[in-house]
Every structure is written in structure tokens, then in C-alpha cells.
């Protein structure tokens, strides 16, 4: 349950209301329009800006930055399906996860090596091959033959 | 260009099953490969460290894959001691893996310098 408390309005941050700056006002989607394109309350405004049937004004809610869900910030609205962008095709499926990282250790590391058929991150590969006591430069040389072939 | 390809083919054609050669991937991965089979147009090989199968084009020395290919950069014969260690490593990776011993670590460090010093 979302608990919303009405706060005092901050001058200059109200949306949907003509500002005092001559010739400009701010619309709910934060674009700037000139006075030549007047706001039509209840008609062309987003749903949250329209009059609430219960009689309450939702103007404050729509102005709250954590309640807005816009497409203009480059991200998808919370909970939107990943294919919500029309015409967008996924081009990457993410990194290959390390199969050696587990409970009690760092997890989610990117796998970069293959040892005995398992994809391992650098730390796990070093442990698996027994290279813990080697210097960093020696580890690089000795791990290179176990690097993943990225196009396999 | 044609002469170069011909030269690559003639060099790679000398490989026989059981030989070890080296290829390099665009991401820097080192492929130490054991030749399994020579066909008319390809070299069928196996990475001794990961046991992955790789097919190389005999004309170009490049892996046959969809992405940017790995390329054979050296077929220089390894010193016999190193060859034996790597063949043992191949068997270890295939049959029963244990941590690398000191000889295997030294061999892997050695080939990291040996193959770039003896390019195709």
C-alpha cells in the first residue's frame, strides 16, 4: 500500500500550471511549450493529470519524481516487459557467468576461462589450476591457454 | 595475396595427426592445438587445455566459425621435453584433471614466449 503525504508545493516545480515566465509553461512530460500551444485540462494531459473521479487532485502525485513513469528518460517503465520497445531486438544476452562461484564466495563474476568443461572467472580458474602462489604476470601467461574462445 | 595463401597452405599441409601448433584469437586467447585429422581443406584439431574441437581452413589458417576467426600463428616444433609435458597435460585435461604441476606451469609459460618468437 502506497502511503502518500501531501507536501507543501514548491514554487517553480508545479507542473501543468502555466508559469509566470512569459511565453512558457511546463507540461507534465517536462517538455517546454510556448503559450501558442495551450494546455487542455482533462483532454490532452496524461491520465494522472486528469481530474480524479473521486474529486481529489492528482496534480501533486504526477509531479512527484518517484511516481512518474516516463519513456523520455531512456528506460522502460517499472514492470514493463523487456520487449516493450516497438521494433527493438535484443542484441546481447549478457556475459557468461562463472560456474564456480557459489555460496560463501563472490558470485556473479563473468566467466572468462574454461577448465575441465566449466566456465570460470579468473579467481576460480586460478584456484582450480593451482596458480594461487604465482605472480600476476605468471598467472596471465598460464591462464591464456584456458581463455574462452569467444566465438564458440 | 594468392602466393601468401599458397604459402600458408603449403606450410600447414606439413602438419600430421599428433603434431601441436598454436593459434591466436582476437581476444588474446591462446589455442594450443593437437592435430587430430588432416583433410583436403581443413585441419581438425583439439585444444589441449579445454578439449574444444576446432576446425581450421587449410588455405587461410583461420578457424571456420561465424565470428572473427582465430588464426594459426605458429607451427614451430616444440622442444621434445615441452612436447611431452603438453601431451601429458592433454591427457590430464581429458581423462583426469588435477591441479597443474610445476612442469606443466613451466611449459605453459614457455609456449607463451616460444610461439610468438617462431611465427608461421
The C-alpha cell at A88 is: 527493438
Give me the half-sphere count of Cα atoms (radius 13 Å) on the Cβ side of residue B42. Answer: 12
Residue among B28, B65, B105 whose CB faces A151 most closely: B65
- Rounded to whole angstroms, the Cα distance separating B96 from B93 reads 6
CB B32 within 8 A of CB A147: no
Rounded to 10 degrees, what is the CA torsion of A53, A59, A65, A66? Answer: -30
The C-alpha cell at A5 is: 503525504
Q: How far is CA A111 from CA A11, B40, B41, B105, in A?
A: 52, 36, 33, 21
pTM of this structure: 0.62
| A36-80 pLDDT, tens digit each | 545 444 444 444 444 555 544 445 444 444 444 444 444 455 444
- Rounded to whole angstroms, the Cα distance separating A37 from A43 reads 13
Nearest-Cα distance to chain A for B2, in Å, is 27
| A11-47 pLDDT, tens digit each | 555 555 555 555 555 555 555 444 454 544 444 444 4
Interface check B63 vs A, CB under 8 A: yes
Kindly identify which residue of chain A lies nearest to residue B31, measuring between CA atoms.
Answer: A145
ipTM for the complex shown: 0.86
Residue A92 exposed, middle or buried by CB count within 10 Å (0-12, 13-18, 19+):
exposed
| B81-108 pLDDT, tens digit each | 999 999 999 999 999 888 999 999 999 9
Amino acid at each position: 500500500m502506497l502511503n502518500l503525504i501531501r507536501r507543501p508545493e514548491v514554487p517553480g516545480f508545479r507542473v501543468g500550471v502555466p508559469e509566470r515566465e512569459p511565453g512558457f509553461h511546463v507540461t507534465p512530460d517536462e517538455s517546454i511549450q510556448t503559450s501558442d500551444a495551450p494546455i487542455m485540462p482533462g483532454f490532452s494531459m496524461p491520465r494522472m493529470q486528469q481530474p480524479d473521479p473521486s474529486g481529489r487532485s492528482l496534480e501533486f502525485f504526477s509531479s512527484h519524481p518517484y511516481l512518474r513513469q516516463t519513456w523520455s528518460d531512456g528506460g522502460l517503465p517499472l514492470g514493463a516487459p523487456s520487449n516493450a520497445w516497438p521494433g527493438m531486438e535484443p542484441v546481447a544476452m549478457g556475459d557468461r557467468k562463472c560456474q564456480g562461484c557459489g555460496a560463501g564466495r563472490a558470485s556473479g563474476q563473468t566467466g572468462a576461462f574454461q577448465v575441465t568443461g566449466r566456465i570460470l572467472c579468473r579467481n576460480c580458474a586460478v584456484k582450480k589450476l593451482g596458480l594461487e602462489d604465482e605472480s600476476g604476470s605468471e598467472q596471465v601467461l598460464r591462464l591464456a591457454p584456458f581463455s574462452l574462445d569467444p566465438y564458440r | 595475396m594468392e602466393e601468401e595463401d599458397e604459402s600458408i597452405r603449403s606450410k600447414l599441409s606439413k602438419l600430421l595427426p599428433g603434431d601441436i601448433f598454436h593459434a591466436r584469437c582476437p581476444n588474446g586467447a591462446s589455442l594450443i592445438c593437437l592435430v587430430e585429422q588432416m583433410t583436403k581443406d581443413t585441419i581438425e584439431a583439439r585444444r589441449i587445455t579445454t578439449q574444444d574441437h576446432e576446425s581450421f581452413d587449410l588455405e587461410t589458417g583461420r578457424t571456420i566459425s561465424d565470428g572473427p576467426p582465430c588464426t594459426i600463428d605458429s607451427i614451430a616444433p616444440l622442444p621434445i621435453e615441452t612436447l611431452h609435458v603438453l601431451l601429458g597435460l592433454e591427457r590430464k585435461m581429458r581423462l583426469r584433471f588435477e591441479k597443474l604441476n610445476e612442469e606443466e606451469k613451466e611449459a605453459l609459460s614457455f609456449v607463451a614466449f616460444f610461439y610468438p618468437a617462431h611465427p608461421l
